[in-house]
Amino acid sequence: MASIEKTKQYLTDFKIHPSFQRIAIMKYLFENPVHPTADEIHTALVAVIPTLSKTTVYNTLSLLSQAGAIKELTIDEKQLHYDGYIREHAHFRCNNCGKIIDVAIDNDTLKIESLEKEHNIIITDTQVFYKGYCNECKNKFNY
């Protein structure tokens, strides 16, 4: 239950002006940690804010994402999914029902620093994706 005040502060901390729409979208992500798509966010919020445009949802999500306030997940072949929980963690996507769940990951198993040195690169983001069948779907596929 992220309050409006907390959400406003969160955005401000990322130097994002907390407009009414931005607060609504950020708050939605906090309260619905299911990695929704832009369209799902819009559908859910337009029921409460009938004037909310889809463009604003897209614009806001890229703004938040670029500022580092949210994460953009490329786990799905068709659409981007968004995550308001930005602490380092991995994701599992069920190939049958599409559900995306959080999975813990050891922060230092990924060896960022050593990879950066080895390849002379700068790593700014890391994503670990697992795909397969969730506990509800695995039976349907002889597992």
Partner DNA sequence: TTGTAAATATGTAATGATTACAAAATTAAA
Partner DNA sequence: TTTAATTTTGTAATCATTACATATTTACAA
* Residue 65 binds to DNA (criterion: CB under 7 A): no
Q: Which of residues 34-93 bind a second copy (CB under 8 A)?
A: 72, 74-77, 80, 92
Class of residue 25 by CB neighbours under 10 A (exposed 0-12, middle 13-18, buried 19+):
buried
* Residue 94 binds to a second copy (criterion: CB under 8 A): yes
**Within 13 Å of residue 23, how many CA atoms lie on the same side as its CB?**
14
Rounded to a whole number of angstroms, the minimum distance from the CB of residue 142 to a second copy is 10
Q: Rounded to whole angstroms, how far apart are CA atoms 61 and 45? A: 14
Rounded to a whole number of angstroms, the minimum distance from the CB of residue 133 to a second copy is 4
Nearer to a second copy among residue 40 and residue 76 (C-beta): 76
Q: Rounded to whole angstroms, how far apart are CA atoms 96 and 94? A: 5
What is the residue type of 95? N
x/- contact string, 21-40, with DNA (CB under 7 A)?
xx--------------xxx-
Rounded to a whole number of angstroms, the minimum distance from the CB of residue 61 to DNA is 8
Pick the binder of a second copy from 54, 117, 131, 140 (CB under 8 A). 131
DSSP character at residue 80 = -
Class of residue 28 by CB neighbours under 10 A (exposed 0-12, middle 13-18, buried 19+):
buried
Footprint on this chain of Mn ion (rule: CB under 5 A): 83, 102
